[in-house]
Structure 1
Amino acid sequence: MDQRPEIDTTVPHSARIWNFFLGGTDNFPVDRQAGEQIFQAFPGMVDMARRSRQMLTRVVRFLAAEAGVRQFLDIGTGLPTMDNTHEVAQRIAPEARVVYVDNDPLVLVHAKALLTSSPEGATDYIEADVRDPGPIIEQAGRTLDFEEPVALMLMGILGLVQDYDQARDVVRRLVEPLTSGSYVAVYDGTDDDPAYMAAIAAFNSGSGAVPYTPRSPEQIARFLDGLDVLPPGVVPVTRWRPDPGPEEDLPDVACAGGVARKP
């Protein structure tokens, strides 16, 4: 981590665009331009980004508090924002161990912000591509014990794997080394909102960034084949175990996800 990576500021990157949607400042003009392009075509994008982030927080809280998970492998983590996976998990279980994975050099530059573990726990950062699971599992083994349950977090990342069969194979290869009692959490954009689909199509054709592929809720659910899907299933992110109160009445967004347990 002592070698500073080269950052290409001429091409937008999904992690930095997402950071822009979440109100962050770790992005460049090219990312803001791409984000504005999406927002102009689909004003609901910012709301969708925030609702998705809220689901991630609820998922980690559930896994740490109710499921007793103490290890997390968060692939496609993006740039540090509020309530990162290790912050949520370690508030509940200070001994929790978290490994973050991303392939954006800017995330690597900001890794020290992620690596602020509690004294009892641990965090680590791996620069790797989700499409190549082997090195991810190998390097994650420095921090995680794969003989104990691990929560695999694939939040908003599988849409960057354009080929559906390849995306399913990626999930299979990542789940295979996990022991019984591990969990898989996933969400991705869905193809059931025409305005969102039009915005993504325009972004894919004109931004130069890695294309994003929304999928049907049924396709997203198939990422969890062979696992025990927890209630309420694969649903819009606003419906996945919302906190009591106003959150229960939030409208659906074009993003669906769920959590499953490995038998």
Structure 2
Amino acid sequence: MGSRLLIVEDDDRVRTALRLALEDEGYTVDEAPSGEAALDLLAARGDPDLMVVDLMLGEMDGFTCIRRVRAGSNVPIIVVSARVDTHDVVAALEAGADDYVTKPFQIKEITARLRALRRRASASPPDAPEEKVLRSGDPRLVLSAAAGSVHRGDEQVHLTLTEFRLLCELAEHPGRVLSRPALLERVWDRGFFGDERIVDVHIRRLRTKIERDPSAPEIVVTVRGLGYRLDVD
């Protein structure tokens, strides 16, 4: 059975073109012409395997829709939007999107990125140690790659798929700098046409979730001009 996908797009022509193209790729496609309709569908049918969301949706914009989805779901989300300003890209990623494609777009680019997201969602975690203590002390911060979880003491830290795989990749090479292109290749699985802003925004989101004590040393360290390094106890 193919993956179930939800398209959230208020332009009927764009939504229909996407649906037909993605059905040809084997997806089962649901459509929502608004953010409100998308949330109703999620409540009625549960999470799809993937979502494609436009930003300019009317009363409830795409940013709000994504934040509402992220409040209770880690479904992979790709934004498809005519908005190309850096602030919009960053805001969409900060809201919880996993990827961003600008209009006009080629269908083959959308399908390639969806395939990459689907592979990541179904793949086993990277070969990070089964359990790694990222911070000792009280509370301890522990990454359990096999279980797909991160805990701060007894509290589970809720990460999106992208954030979790990013942390696992860094944990696989503790103390080693990983460049942005390397992280794009390993985590986003798409190499040369990746946008490095995506890495920076997800690193920032990851830090807000795992680095709660501003007086403690950073866990994810920025090495200016080179990339990022995971420092563990």
Task: Please identify the structure whose Cα radius of gyration is greater.
Answer: 2
For the superposition of Structure 1 and Structure 2, which TM-score range results when normalised by the shorter chain? 0.3 to 0.5
Give TM-score scaled by structure 2 length. 0.35
Higher share of residues assigned strand: 2
Give TM-score scaled by structure 1 length. 0.32
